Structure 1
């Protein structure tokens, strides 16, 4: 599955109550119950990325993350943040 397809699936999931059982983000396999841990917001203050991070860093699981971040940038944001180690799989 390509990144574009994953982003389309994520967008569809964000608009529905039905979530896939497993989701691949980069090299990480996550489910709705996968726990996430965040560093303090590393983004440039008041940038769009900073505002998004502020809203979704409250999520403790991937399922909560999907509910809090229904933007089309949700999956690319999480992939980037995992790669930069701003977010870790707990």
Structure 2
């Protein structure tokens, strides 16, 4: 899944920062670990401390804004099935 996505991103430039956010201690994400290593994607650990608004979402938003304001990048690619990131995508496009 991640390989074709990165191939599409490569059409627009180099992906200098590749991160995957989640609780990597749980069983649900263990199958991704080999893919992340193979594709040089950095796993970002976010423990599932609470229910509802999730700390993983917040970490991704904070990191995206830090990268945006660093001024080092010409483009962004956010990948999520969560529509909560729509506002972040709109902000990055400005």
The verdict on a shared fold, with TM-score over 0.5 as the criterion, is: no
* Higher gyration radius (CA): 2
* Structure possessing the higher relative contact order (Cα contacts under 8 Å, 6 or more residues apart): 1
Higher helix proportion: 2
Q: Which has the higher strand share?
A: 1
Q: TM-score, normalization: structure 2? A: 0.26
